[in-house]
Amino acid sequence: MKQNKNFKRGRFTLIEVVVVIVILVMLASIATPLYFRHVRNAKISTAKTQIKLIEQSLMDLKLDTGSYPESLEALTENVDQAEKWDGPYIKPNVPKDPWGNEYVYVFPGEHGEFDLSSYGGDGQPGGEGENADINNWE
């Protein structure tokens, strides 16, 4: 008889297992949105940092050649055949934005000497939140 009592103590009842599963689901439902909010904010911060990096590289190229390039490719290779080009100005290549899209470079710009943008998560102009545009003039 003593063996049966000890044997039962080593097992979990169905109620105990269900309670543990419910607690784990509740913890996951709280932690998951926090994680995705952190990932979204990290992508936006990364895009802002990359825009500043590309912007600085464009300014360095202008100091050497006297003008801004027609495209971002000029940061890695002398596509304009500029005599004073002393690059590459960014290595190994111009990064894509955190959502995998190319940065949009417009020269001459409407908001400054050049405009540099990421269209955010949706890859389309405009939007809100993670889909909002990130620009060098804001």
What confidence tens digit (pLDDT) does each residue in 59-90 have? 999 999 999 999 999 999 998 888 899 989 99
Name residue 43's beta-bridge partners. none
pLDDT at 1: 46
Instruction: State pTM to two decimals.
Output: 0.74
CA distances from 92 to 23, 87, 88, 95, 106 (A): 47, 11, 8, 9, 22
Tell me: domain 14-135, CATH 3.30.700.10, correct? yes
Could you tell me which residue, 28 or 12, shows the higher pLDDT?
A: 28
Name residue 135's beta-bridge partners. 117
Q: Scanning the structure block, which residue is given the tokens 């000890």?
A: 6
pLDDT at 9: 62
Which DSSP helix (H) or strand (E) runs through 115? strand 115-118
Name residue 134's beta-bridge partners. 118
